[in-house]
Every structure is written in structure tokens, then in C-alpha cells.
């Protein structure tokens, strides 16, 4: 099938590439000239495991084209995906300007019947707005062309996006138009050969499903972070509690890891946008507001632990920071907990030596050149001249480090483990003071002072 994708970011590029991989003829269009030029040269600007080789082979085979020309993309397509960003507005609601700009462009250039697919995460009612925007442009042109707007929210995870797209848990299609359902089934048939994974519903339910999924996952994280805060105060270890509850299949193991708070481009903005929608309809979303408030508090927690250890005397100290991306296997630092921590450390007069396996370039773009930040080449390089170590992202390569080497390198021999990667006993045996999240035992007995 001939498909065009508006927006060549994480979602648009993965969608376009995976559709091309199964044989569809795909044009990806973006307004970012540099991004499109790079993709034409075979340069994939984001880090996403497995994506680059697929982009190369499909581009070389002619099934995956890149352009900045929307007219070319619209002329090409039987199906158009809208996969542009929906960032938060000041009040938390989703900013639809990019989505509606694409809708206007489609209306201005459409010359044959077409299926328009909302893949961006958009508030309930957006498919209607997209439809009305296209219709208004067609009417300005004085033409009458059939088109249909369906909702098809995306559930891929950054870091495993290609795998998620190629082997989806479910494909949500929001429309009551039988022809549109048939077209979407044909488009996705190669991804669901072994088992039926289509869930077809009305468009508003599909739009709400995406927010409900992200809000549920964010809720699990904030719940566990709140339990961690309680564990810390009562002298319990949340890791034991996690083991104790995860085996209950009604609770499950996933998304019950306490940590430094959730970040990324989706959970924070989607929880806020859903809360905003509830307010707009006269409902106070108490649970969603609490989920967000707990997360905001959690993002401050590592810094609180650091302040507790040092009696707030942090100025002039140097912190090795392991991990900057909001989670492993991505270079994405949008709303990453590391950003809050670094700002707090700098405000307190501390210096940072940071290492992330993939996000260094992103960090350089965000923070620029500054005297209190050194971006290092390895986790051990980050330890050089540092007083303490803070682990912020749970990259696999941080899981089993050489603790003797850490103990030797750190002037103050203290480790703040923002992801509970380590066993406190093992760290303490190496002569390093340990702070984790919700590990009441180590918090109850804070240790101060530099190494003798
Ligand atoms: N990133 C994720 O993990 C993820 C997962 C599921 C859903 N989503 C949702 O998908 C949407 C896209 O997210 P993303 O992370 O891919 O965003 P992104 O910021 O990485 O990419 C958006 C792209 O759209 C382009 N763009 C903006 N206006 C355009 C226009 N008029 N025409 C063509 N291109 C245009 C931008 O230049 C940018 O390259 C958002 O609504 C997001 O909430 C994201």
C-alpha cells in the first residue's frame, strides 16, 4: 500500500520504516530540513536499537523515501499517518498546533479519496477536529473529496520501538467506518499473522485508550515510589516489598520499580493532558493529580538524599553521574530526572562529571558548554576526581561494576543509587556508604564525612 507519514521523529520514523520493511511503499515527510537531509544520506539522528539498519535497507530498496515536500507526500498516499509531536501547553493540555497544521496541509492538497490516521497521542475529540479542519480547507477550495479520519494510537516503547512495532501487543483502531477498518486491517496484516490483535472501537474510546494506558503505567510507578517513601521512614526495604507483591499475578512485576521518577516525552505530558481533559469536562481527576505530584516529589529525592548525607554542604563537591537518558536504550532526555538533579547540584554549587552510553550529544545540546559539567567517555572516566557517585539511569553496563575501583576513586566513598541497582551489603563491604530509594535500613543510619 502507498503510505505517507507526517513527522519523522521516534514514532513516525519507526512506523514508516517498519511499514516499509513488510513491503509497503512509504514516504516520510518532515518540516525539519536537516533531519530529512540526514535521513537521505542514511544518518538516523535518534538512537533506537535495530532502527538504523532497517532504515538503510528499506531506503536502498526504494520502499522508504524522505522529503520535506508535503504535496509530494499527499499525492503519493492512499493512507496518511499524522505522527507529529503533541507537546504540553502551559496548562498541561496537549498542544495540537502541529497536528492541525498537518490537517490543513492535507485539506489544501488532497486530490483523491484518502484515509487519514491519527497516530500522535491526542485528546479525545481530536479526530473530529482534524476532520473539520480538512473539510474546511476542501470547502475553501470548492471541492468535495471523500476522506475518513481514524484514530490509531501508538504503544511502542523507546528503546524497544522496532520490536514493539513489528510484534504489537494490540493494534487499536478507532473508527466505525467499515471501509476504513478494512484498509487498516490490510495495512497491518503482516504484523498480526500469528494471532488476532486488532481491537476496533469508536474513535473517542481509541483516543482515550492511549491516555488510559500511559496513566496506568505512570500510576504504578508513582504508587511504588510512594511505598518507597514510606519504607524509608519506617525502616523497611522497598526492594523486599517489591519482591513480596510482584509475585501476585493481579499486581505483576512490571512497572513496580521504585526510582528517581518517571520522565520521557510521554508519561509526564500524557498524565497532565488527561487530567486537563477531565477538568475541561468538570471532573477533578484526584488520582491523576496525585500521580503527577508524587512524581514531581520523587524527581527531587536523589538530591534530598545527597543533602542529607552532606548536611547540605555540597558546594565545591564533584559528583560522578551515571546515566542521563530518561531510561536505558535511548538517547532521549525529555523530562529526564537527570535534568532536575543536575540543575539542583549546580544551584548548590557542585560540579558534575557525567557519563551516558548514548545521550552525551543530547546533553551537550541541552546544557551547552559549562565549567561545572564534564561529559565523560566511560563510567570509570566519570569517577576521576569525583567525591561521590549518583546512578540515575539503569543502563545494563552499570549493573555489575567494579566496586573496589569505585571505592578507590571516590574521595568521599558514597554512592546514591537512584534505581536500586545494587545490594547495599555488597557496596558497604567495599567500604562505600550506600543510599538507595526506599531502603530504610541505609537511610536510617546516614553516614557523613570524607574518607579518612
Ligand atoms: N516517543 C514515544 O515513545 C511515543 C510513543 C507513543 C506515542 N507517542 C506520541 O507520538 C507523537 C510523536 O512523538 P515523537 O516522540 O515521535 O515526536 P518527535 O518530536 O520525536 O517527532 C515529531 C516530528 O514531527 C515533525 N513535524 C512537526 N510538524 C510537522 C509538519 N507540519 N509536517 C511534518 N512533520 C512535522 C517534527 O519536525 C519532528 O521531527 C506524540 O504525540 C507522542 O506523544 C510517542
What does the block give as the cell for 199?
481491537
Q: How many helices (H) and strands (E) does the chain have?
A: 19, 14
Predicted confidence band of residue 97 (pLDDT cuts 50, 70, 90): very high
Q: Which of 7, 45, 83, 93 to mutate to test the pocket of ligand 1 (most atoms within 8 A of CB)?
A: 7
By the 8 A CB rule, do 324 and 354 touch?
yes
154 lines ligand 1 (CB under 6 A): yes
Cell of 436: 538507595
Check: CB of residue 327 under 8 Å from CB of residue 294.
Answer: no
Tens-digit pLDDT profile for residues 144-193: 999 999 999 999 999 999 999 999 999 999 999 999 999 999 999 999 98
Residue 85 CB–ligand 1 contact under 6 Å: yes
- Centroid of ligand 1 to alpha carbon of 83 (angstroms): 5
| Contact indicator for 419, 370 with CB cutoff of 8 Å | no
**Whether residue 331 has its Cβ less than 6 Å from ligand 1:** no
DSSP string for residues in 130-157: HHHHHHHHHHHHT----EEEEE------
Phi, psi of 172 (to 5 degrees): -90, 125
**Cα atoms found within 13 Å of the Cα of residue 433, Cβ hemisphere only:** 21
What is the CA(197)–ligand 1 centre distance, in A? 24
Q: What is the mean pLDDT of residues 324-345?
A: 97
CA separation, residue 182 to residues 77, 179, 187, 200 (Å): 16, 5, 9, 11
With H, G, I as helix, E, B as strand and everything else as coil, classify residue 162: helix
Note the pLDDT of residue 441. 61
Tens of pLDDT, residue by residue over 365-422, are 999 999 999 999 999 999 999 999 999 999 999 999 999 999 999 999 999 999 999 9
**Side-chain half-sphere CA neighbours of 383 within 13 A:** 21
Q: What is the predicted pLDDT for the residue at 445?
A: 44
Residue 238 CA to ligand 1 center (angstroms) comes to: 36
Of 374, 356, 370, the C-alpha closest to 318 is 374
Cα–Cα nearest to 77, from 11, 131, 1, 148: 1
Q: What is the model's pTM?
A: 0.94
Ligand 1 contact, 12 CB (< 6 A): yes
Helices 203-234 and 267-280: angle between axes, nearest 10 degrees: 120
Contact (Cβ atoms closer than 8 angstroms) between residue 152 and residue 172: yes
Amino acid at each position: 500500500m502507498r503510505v505517507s507519514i507526517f513527522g519523522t521523529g521516534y514514532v513516525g520514523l519507526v512506523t514508516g520504516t517498519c511499514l516499509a520493511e513488510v513491503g509497503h511503499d512509504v514516504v516520510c515527510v518532515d518540516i525539519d530540513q536537516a533531519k530529512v537531509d540526514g535521513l537521505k544520506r542514511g544518518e538516523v539522528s535518534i538512537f533506537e536499537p535495530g532502527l538504523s539498519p532497517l532504515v538503510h535497507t528499506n531506503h536502498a530498496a526504494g520502499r522508504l523515501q524522505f522529503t520535506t515536500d508535503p504535496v509530494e507526500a499527499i499525492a503519493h498516499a492512499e493512507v496518511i499517518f499524522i505522527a507529529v509531536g503533541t507537546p504540553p501547553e502551559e496548562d498541561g493540555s496537549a498542544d495540537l498546533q502541529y497536528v492541525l497544521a498537518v490537517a490543513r496541509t492535507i485539506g489544501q492538497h488532497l486530490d483523491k479519496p484518502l484515509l487519514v490516521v491519527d497516530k500522535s497521542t491526542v485528546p479525545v475529540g481530536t479526530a473530529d477536529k482534524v476532520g473539520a479542519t480538512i473539510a474546511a480547507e476542501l470547502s475553501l477550495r470548492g471541492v468535495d473529496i471523500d476522506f475518513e479520519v481514524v484514530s490509531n494510537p501508538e504503544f511502542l516503547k523507546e528503546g524497544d520501538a522496532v520490536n514493539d512495532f513489528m510484534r504489537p501487543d494490540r493494534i487499536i483502531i478507532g473508527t466505525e467506518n467499515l471501509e476504513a477498518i478494512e484498509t487498516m486491517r490490510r495495512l497491518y496484516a503482516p504484523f498480526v499473522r500469528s494471532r488476532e490483535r486488532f481491537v476496533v472501537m469508536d474513535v473517542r474510546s481509541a483516543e482515550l485508550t492511549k491516555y488510559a494506558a500511559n496513566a496506568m503505567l505512570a500510576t504504578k510507578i508513582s504508587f511504588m515510589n510512594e511505598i518507597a517513601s514510606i519504607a524509608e521512614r519506617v525502616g523497611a526495604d522497598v526492594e523486599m516489598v517489591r519482591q513480596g507483591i510482584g509475585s501476585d499475578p493481579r499486581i505483576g512485576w512490571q512497572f513496580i520499580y521504585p526510582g528517581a521518577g518517571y520522565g520521557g516525552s510521554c508519561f509526564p505530558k500524557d498524565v497532565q493532558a488527561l487530567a486537563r481533559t477531565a477538568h475541561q469536562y468538570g471532573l477533578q481527576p484526584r488520582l491523576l493529580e496525585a500521580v503527577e505530584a508524587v512524581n514531581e516529589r520523587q524527581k527531587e529525592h536523589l538530591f534530598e538524599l545527597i543533602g542529607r548525607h552532606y548536611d547540605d554542604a555540597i558546594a565545591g563537591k564533584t559528583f560522578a553521574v551515571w546515566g542521563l537518558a530518561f531510561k536505558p536504550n535511548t538517547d532521549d532526555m525529555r523530562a529526564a530526572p537527570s535534568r532536575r538533579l543536575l540543575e539542583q547540584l549546580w544551584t548548590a554549587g557542585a560540579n558534575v562529571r557525567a557519563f551516558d552510553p548514548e545521550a552525551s550529544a543530547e546533553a551537550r545540546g541541552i546544557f551547552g558548554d559549562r565549567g561545572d559539567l564534564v561529559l565523560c567517555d566511560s563510567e570509570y572516566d566519570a569517577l576521576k576526581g569525583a567525591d561521590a557517585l549518583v546512578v540515575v539511569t539503569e543502563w545494563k553496563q552499570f549493573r555489575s561494576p567494579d566496586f573496589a575501583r569505585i571505592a578507590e576513586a571516590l574521595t568521599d566513598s558514597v554512592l546514591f543509587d537512584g534505581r536500586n541497582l545494587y545490594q547495599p551489603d555488597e557496596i558497604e563491604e567495599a567500604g562505600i556508604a550506600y543510599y538507595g530509594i526506599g531502603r530504610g535500613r541505609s537511610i536510617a543510619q546516614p553516614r557523613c564525612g570524607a574518607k579518612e
